[in-house]
Amino acid sequence: MLTIDIIKAKQLKDKPDPNNLGFGNYFTDHMFVMDYQEGMGWHNPRVKPYEDLHLDPSAVVFHYGQEMFEGLKAYRRQDGEINLFRPDMNGKRLNNTNDRICMPQIPVEDFVQAVRTLVHTDASWVPEEAGTSLYIRPFVIATEPTLMVNPSKSYLFMIILSPVGAYYKEGLNPVRIYVEDTYVRASKGGVGEAKTGGSYGASMIAQKNAKNEGFAQVLWLDAIEHRYVEEVGTMNIFFKIRGKVYTPALSGSILPGITRDSVISLLKSWDIPIYEERISMDTIIEASKNGDLEEVFGTGTAAVISPVGGIHFKGLDFVVHNNEIGPITRRIYDTLTGMQYGNVKDDFGWIETIEDKNDHGWL
């Protein structure tokens, strides 16, 4: 249990138009900060006014990318309270990432307490409009001032909050994805299963090229044979072929999504066959040609579920389900978002509620 100091902002910001939020454009009045120093451990957990950081230009994070981040959301329920979705899973994944890049562990209870305390402080920033939410961005950076290539002796753990709009303004729309067969995102033994900044910097070129060609996302293939499906942009991927659902097994180069894990549990609870295995592009294309590729969708916190309506591979286009959202895709989306906003019963113990007694409202 942390003892968190709360230093309130003297002046609160004007809130943006809740119908025009976009993603990650606005930040709330407060942020969470905790320091780490070798020999002292984590100390001085505090909520304080949102402001610039002061860091030495030689801080390790700027040069060697010793950094990690997480992402989750707070959802406004109809009764005015606030829901979090499986925040303990983000805490566990943070520690797996931290292990991989030699950063110190943060107890999962402390992580969840920090998230809850900050969201509670800025509760008035959780928007109410349909499909909106408060995006929560925890991150850890290496702050030691040195150009030595060694794990830093000091770190900052921070959380910032950003009210975000509905991912699909005109409802759930299928996207077209580009199968990348030149660049790779991650290889076994690398950092693909860690949520660390370097992977994203390295992936931007493929994302940029795909966008220029009119595609929403990149579908990554394995780094060795460029044959097996890995994941899409910042989402995991699922394929429904002849009534069975497949998703790539967590092989070491794939980010273990919390939405992915939740979708697998839901499908199992509905007795829909779900297989975690290696899936080749040959299998996908053959299924598409035979009319057996019934549904394709991506999963991730930002969009929850993103139906895929078209796949572009080596110059050829494959249309999925007539470019319409499929029934399983729709059912998963409705169930998960229903749980998150508190309209569908949670039989899994995934939802944590934060009371918002103040009921300040958006303005």
Ligand X SMILES: *Cc1c(COP(=O)(O)O)cnc(C)c1O
Residues 228-267, mask of contacts with ligand X (x by CB under 6 A): ---x--xxx------------------x-xxxx-------
Closer to ligand X by Cβ: residue 152 or 247: 247
Closer to ligand X by Cβ: residue 72 or 287: 72
What residues pair up with 139 in beta bridges, in sequence order?
A: 69, 158
Closer to ligand X by Cβ: residue 47 or 136: 136
Closer to ligand X by Cβ: residue 161 or 258: 258
Window 206 to 235, contacts with ligand X (CB under 6 A): 231, 234-235
* Minimal distance, residue 198 CB to ligand X, in Å: 12
* Minimal distance, residue 265 CB to ligand X, in Å: 13
Closer to ligand X by Cβ: residue 36 or 178: 178
Residues 295-334, mask of contacts with ligand X (x by CB under 6 A): ----xxx---------------------------------
Closer to ligand X by Cβ: residue 235 or 279: 235
Window 111 to 170, contacts with ligand X (CB under 6 A): none
* Minimal distance, residue 169 CB to ligand X, in Å: 20
Six token digits for residue 209: 């090229």
* Minimal distance, residue 68 CB to ligand X, in Å: 11
CA distances (Å), origin 318, targets 176, 179, 186, 296, 329: 9, 11, 25, 11, 18
Residues 68-107, mask of contacts with ligand X (x by CB under 6 A): ---x------------------------------------
Best CA proximity match to 295, nearest among 303, 281, 278, 307: 307
* Minimal distance, residue 357 CB to ligand X, in Å: 29
* Minimal distance, residue 306 CB to ligand X, in Å: 11
* Minimal distance, residue 25 CB to ligand X, in Å: 19
Distance CA 337, CA 333 (A): 6
Does position 180 bind ligand X by CB under 6 A? no
Window 44 to 73, contacts with ligand X (CB under 6 A): 71
Closer to ligand X by Cβ: residue 44 or 96: 96
Closer to ligand X by Cβ: residue 121 or 236: 236
* Minimal distance, residue 261 CB to ligand X, in Å: 8
Distance CA 162, CA 181 (A): 34
Distance CA 296, CA 216 (A): 14
Whether 320 and 310 have beta carbons less than 8 Å apart is answered as yes
Closer to ligand X by Cβ: residue 34 or 255: 255
* Minimal distance, residue 230 CB to ligand X, in Å: 9
* Minimal distance, residue 126 CB to ligand X, in Å: 18
Q: Which of 195, 207, 288, 309 binds ligand X (CB under 6 A)?
A: 195
Total site size for ligand X, rule CB under 6 A: 14
Closer to ligand X by Cβ: residue 210 or 258: 258
3-state secondary structure the chain: CCCCEECCCCCCCCCCCCCCCCCCCCCCCEEEEEEEECCCEEEEEEEEECCCCCCCCCEHHHHHCCEEECCEEEEECCCCCEEEECHHHHHHHHHHHHHHCCCCCCCHHHHHHHHHHHHHHCHHHCCCCCCCEEEEEEEEEECCECCCCCCCCEEEEEEEEEEECCCCCCCCCCEEEEEECCCCCCCCCCCCCCCCHHHHHHHHHHHHHHHHCCCCEEEEECCCCCCEEEEECCEEEEEEECCEEEEECCCCCCCCCHHHHHHHHHHHHCCCCEEEECCEHHHHHHHHHCCCEEEEEEEECCCEEEEEEEEEECCEEEECHHHCCCHHHHHHHHHHHHHHCCCCCCCCCCEEEECCCCCCCCC
Residues near ligand X, by CB under 6 A: 71, 195, 231, 234-236, 255, 257-260, 299-301
